[in-house]
Copies of this chain bind each other. A is one copy, B any other.
Amino acid sequence: MNFDTIDIELLALLQEDCKKTTKEYALKLGLSVTAVYERIKRLEKNGVIQKYVALVNKKEIEKGFTALCHVKLTQHTKKYVSNFERDIIKLTEISECLHLSGDYDYMLKINVKDIEAYREFIVSKLTAINHIGSTQSSFVIAEVKHTTAISI
Residue A145 at the chain B interface, CB threshold 8 Å = yes
Check A54 for interface membership: any CB of B closer than 8 A: yes
A17-B52, A18-B18, A48-B56 given; A63·B143 CB < 8 A: no
Q: In the assembled complex, which residues on chain B have CB atoms less than 8 Å from the CB atom of A138?
A: 100-104, 107
- Tell me, in angstroms, the Cα distance from A3 to B57 when the chains sit together: 14
Q: Mind listing 16 A-B residue pairs with CB under 8 Å?
A: A1-B60, A3-B61, A11-B56, A11-B61, A49-B55, A53-B148, A53-B149, A56-B150, A63-B150, A68-B98, A95-B148, A98-B141, A99-B141, A99-B142, A100-B139, A106-B144
- 11 new A-B contacts, CB < 8 A, other than A3-B61, A48-B57, are A1-B60, A14-B53, A19-B52, A47-B57, A52-B53, A58-B150, A95-B148, A96-B143, A99-B141, A99-B143, A106-B144
